[in-house]
Amino acid sequence: MRSKKTKQAKKSKRLASFSLAVMGIGFVATLPFQGSFLGDLLQGGFEAGLVGGLADWFAVTALFRHPLGLPIPHTALLPKNRNRITKALVSTLENDWLSKESIRNKIKQINFTEKLLPVLEKELHSDSVKKGTVALIAQMISHINLEKVTPFVEKEIKSSLHSIEMRTVLQSAIHQVLIREYDEKALDYLLGKVEEWIRKSNTKNQLGNLAVRALDNIELDGFLQFALKSFQNLLNEEKLGNILQNLLLSVVRNLRRIDDTNRKTLLLHVRTELRNIKDNQKLLEEIANWKDHLIADWDPAEKITEILKKTQQKMLSFVQDRKFTNTYLLPFLTRLLNNLKEEPARTKIIENWIQKQIAKLVEENHSKIGKLVQENLDKLDDETLIQMMENKIGKDLQWIRVNGAICGFIIGIFLTEIKALM
């Protein structure tokens, strides 16, 4: 493309030089014919054409360099005024041709969502989009900084635990205990363990020993003391232990009977106390303080990080599985695009967001347009810049020379005619 333009510029330059040469040759050729009307007429035309062509050649050449290499004042205008011209060009680009306002107005005329949605819908099922989307999601997951996430998760967990109302928790727990009869089951379990302990052989000895020591420590007066001593002589440690063991077993067996009055009374008392816990403010405060101390002393960071790492790996494996794309990703994106097309309001919101982002980008980087032009121009030396401009506008400039020679020729003939008539 550049070589084609260069050839056109050279061709135009040759044409301009040819027109100047024609005028010069014509002027010289008509000198012998001075005195005749036609000779004077043609000579005047060629003379004026030669002057006009030379003047335009001088003017065109003076834009870029010194004519004939002579340092004539006010020539080589471009190299001398390069900085001023560059600044003027940059200023024109920034403030006129590509001003912020003009770019913003142009952006407002573009409906980005209208252009993007069909493209996205068309390319949605292409392998490149599938792979690119999966890779993007996987990269986002893998770049999650778990060390920064862990404190946030820990804080939220502890905050949630602190906000738990213990009165509500206790009420719910007691309600479940009563409905599922855990109190009765707990009593049966406890009685079973007590009976198991009572039936042990060494328990009988312990009970007998305990009874003997208790009797020894009793201090009575007179006849009562005599009667107690007589009773102790009749019963030894083994007998007392056996009596107490059987007595306790009898009590336990009775309590394990569902229809036992003492059992019912005991369970009623337990259930009444459980229902009244919600009104025991002191107990509730103690439980709340206990809970807060437990939470404060709890350090779950290491465990949370471990869980997050496992979750992250599972998410990566899930995303990179082939089923993820066809089963979850594509249906989701398809629904999303369909919803956008069916809901103009949402599309408008996205459009406004895109417009704002582009406008913000233009606002923040508009000055870079001028800087980019300035930097590219500064990379070029004077000769390269002149050649570039001559290649771009040289054809039009050379036609100025041609037109100057032709116009001068016509004006010269007209003036010669006027002189002849006068």
- pLDDT at 152 exceeding the cut of 50: yes
- pLDDT at 52 exceeding the cut of 90: no
The stretch 208-228 carries a mean pLDDT of 58
Between these two residues, 21 and 70, which has the higher pLDDT value? 21
Q: Is 113 within 8 Å of 105 (Cβ atoms)?
A: no
Between these two residues, 297 and 64, which has the higher pLDDT value? 297
| Mean pLDDT across the chain | 77
Of 34-43, 51-60, 363-372, 381-390, which gets the smallest average pLDDT? 381-390
d(CA 141, CA 149): 12
Q: What does the DSSP 8-state code read for residue 332? A: H
Per-residue pLDDT at 74: 59
Residue 245's nearest CA partner among 215, 219, 211 is 211
Where does 281-366 have alpha helices with state H? 281-297, 301-320, 322-324, 330-342, 344-365
Please report which confidence band the pLDDT of residue 280 belongs to, taking 50, 70 and 90 as the band edges.
confident
The tokens of 7 are what? 């050839």
Q: What does the DSSP 8-state code read for residue 69? A: G
Please report which confidence band the pLDDT of residue 80 belongs to, taking 50, 70 and 90 as the band edges.
low
Tell me the pTM: 0.48
The structural domains of the chain, with segments of one domain joined by +, span 2-80+381-421, 166-297
The tokens of 86 are what? 């560059």
Please report which confidence band the pLDDT of residue 156 belongs to, taking 50, 70 and 90 as the band edges.
very high
- Residue 236 three-state SS: coil
Per-residue pLDDT at 226: 46
The stretch 5-14 carries a mean pLDDT of 59
The stretch 138-166 carries a mean pLDDT of 90
DSSP per-residue letters across 135-162: HHHHHHHHT--HHHHHHHHHHHHHHHHH
- Cα 408 to Cα 55, 400, 416, 420, distances in angstroms: 10, 12, 12, 18
Give per-residue pLDDT as tens, 284-342. Answer: 888 889 988 999 899 999 999 999 999 999 999 999 888 888 888 888 888 888 887 78
Residue 225 contacts by C-beta under 8 Å, 6 or more apart in sequence? Answer: 219
Please report which confidence band the pLDDT of residue 1 belongs to, taking 50, 70 and 90 as the band edges.
very low
Between these two residues, 26 and 126, which has the higher pLDDT value? 126
Of 215-224, 310-319, 359-368, 401-410, which gets the smallest average pLDDT? 215-224
Per-residue pLDDT at 339: 83
**The most confident of 335-339, 362-366, 411-415, by mean pLDDT:** 335-339
